[in-house]
Structure 1
């Protein structure tokens, strides 16, 4: 269960994470993005085409309770997380493309997340309160706008804010480990193996399909690694925040199970994938083609 103090702390962390995302942006970034819509299209297709479909298939083929199914679907419909930017950097991917895809999926998510949720929830006969989710998403654009304003006013303040947002995204995982997991240990022991399969499989399948999609488009290897990580690494903190502010009681705990487990395991999965990408990296791959793609 999540108490009032944890709800307030969670809200604060989400605010800072989104503030950091906004601080990484300038109006020029949007101008460049619009000049190169190919990157935007890849980001939208990856996040709202592949990931919700993966979540739908997991719910369809795994035997899970309805609350767990809702958690899987909500997690799969989230935009990219800022953690992907960190793993992209260490995997020697294209950091500019990573940030572009993260921001694009977050902003377009205000419209696309409710749509894909309605489509797949209806197909799975799940009742997910869309109004609270839409309200939460709209409110999260406020710290993004504030972050952009801070970056414009003072570049140094913007850089510090950006770093804090990225660091807090990783700290959020630690927060879950020391707070939520111990108090819900019995629930985690009693939940079905299918819950763990879904939590781990969502990230693994997302990264694999994202990479194959990028290679099918004949993208540069650095860009392919970036698309793979951006596709598989979802915004876990946002999913948990939406659940906390939408559901209550035992139902909230069950719906939250997959996003929490996903947030814990995606760090392990992404670390292993990053090590693989670094070993496969060659000097010839370091030179990027003109533009983001």
Structure 2
């Protein structure tokens, strides 16, 4: 999503409206996604045959993410390569490992276990930048880590999923890499190119992009929930517990990684959200395409919960001294 655009403009010297926009986005988005999930659950027949649209919707989200990027977002990687590398290692070690451990601890059925592990193997969620800002964390570091983790997803997400979820389901890692390239990397790069060659036009449409992204994610969640509506009634509570445990431990261990890496309080807050918040839209798309609608259920719930928990954690941290 591109709901972090107010944060980027704020960092470049905005007039102060960035914080209001960020708070509005981080509040409205989970409500919108929750409403979309309710629609999919109550009217599953209305989304019959929509499964094929999920990769295209995700492509829209990632294009919007790419179009909000600027060269400044990559400067932080050059200035602080150690901190960015720490964030990437923490993200792609802690969350996949926690996904596997949580699935074993709760003895999740194979489809749900694979889906939760896939959530853990996804790159950082873009809304992590928003909650980092609200938590008074290191926003520049957050943007750098989420940007690089997204660009690295084609190389990392599929092999990790094969390694950790292969015991539950057959994982076609090669096909998954191809899908990530088509639905993540190419749209992001296309958006970045458009931003570079048509910056004046892009500046006019930037206010619309957060809502376009939120709408696309909402439709993805509705389609995923509709596809597994029958199973949700029997497995929803178990999946909610799994997603909350996975996310909560990720936030805590991400913060701890920042402290161990001596990134300071602001940097540690950034690490908490970069590690604990995932691109659940990508996980839902891949789970639907390569596993089943039921396997996408953890991603659908994570799309809502990660933003709620992130907002709550940011509100608590913002009141604590740095």
TM-score class, shorter-chain normalisation, is 0.7 to 0.9
Is residue 181 of structure 2 the alignment partner of residue 138 of structure 1?
yes
On the 8 A contact 2:259/2:268 being kept in 1, the answer is: yes
In the superposition, relative to structure 1, how do residues 22 and 174 fare at CA in structure 2: closer, same or farther (>3 Å)?
A: closer
Could you tell me which residue of structure 2 aligns to residue 63 of structure 1?
Answer: 107
Of the structure 1 ranges 47-56 and 154-163, higher mean CA displacement relative to structure 2 is found in: 154-163
Correspondences of 1:66-85 after superposition (within 5 Å)? 66-85=110-129
Aligned equivalents of 1:160 and 1:231: distance in 2? 32
Is residue 228 of structure 2 the alignment partner of residue 188 of structure 1?
no
Tell me the CA shift for residue 94 of structure 1.
2.1
Tell me the CA shift for residue 239 of structure 1.
0.7
Could you tell me which residue of structure 1 aligns to residue 14 of structure 2?
Answer: none
Match among 54, 62, 75 for residue 18 of structure 1: 62
TM-score, normalised by the number of residues in structure 1: 0.84
Is residue 47 of structure 2 the alignment partner of residue 7 of structure 1?
no
Gaps of 5+ in 1: 286-293
In the superposition, relative to structure 1, how do residues 240 and 182 fare at CA in structure 2: closer, same or farther (>3 Å)?
A: closer
Structure 1 vs Structure 2 CA RMSD: 2.5
TM-score, normalised by the number of residues in structure 2: 0.77
In the superposition, relative to structure 1, how do residues 163 and 127 fare at CA in structure 2: closer, same or farther (>3 Å)?
A: farther
On the 8 A contact 2:63/2:191 being kept in 1, the answer is: yes
Aligned equivalents of 2:204 and 2:244: distance in 1? 32
Is residue 302 of structure 2 the alignment partner of residue 257 of structure 1?
no
Could you tell me which residue of structure 2 aligns to residue 200 of structure 1?
Answer: 244
Match among 63, 70, 88 for residue 44 of structure 1: 88
Tell me the CA shift for residue 70 of structure 1.
0.8
Is residue 266 of structure 2 the alignment partner of residue 222 of structure 1?
yes
On the 8 A contact 1:23/1:159 being kept in 2, the answer is: no
Deviations for 1:77-116, whole angstroms, at most 9, x for unmatched residues? 0000112122222222222211111111111121111221
Could you tell me which residue of structure 2 aligns to residue 290 of structure 1?
Answer: none
Is residue 99 of structure 2 the alignment partner of residue 94 of structure 1?
no
Is residue 306 of structure 2 the alignment partner of residue 266 of structure 1?
yes
Tell me the CA shift for residue 187 of structure 1.
2.3
Give the count of matched residue pairs. 276
Could you tell me which residue of structure 1 aligns to residue 161 of structure 2?
Answer: 117
In the superposition, relative to structure 1, how do residues 43 and 167 fare at CA in structure 2: closer, same or farther (>3 Å)?
A: farther
Deviations for 1:229-288, whole angstroms, at most 9, x for unmatched residues? 1111100111111122223xxxx12101111111121122112111111111x4xx4xxx
On the 8 A contact 1:64/1:192 being kept in 2, the answer is: no
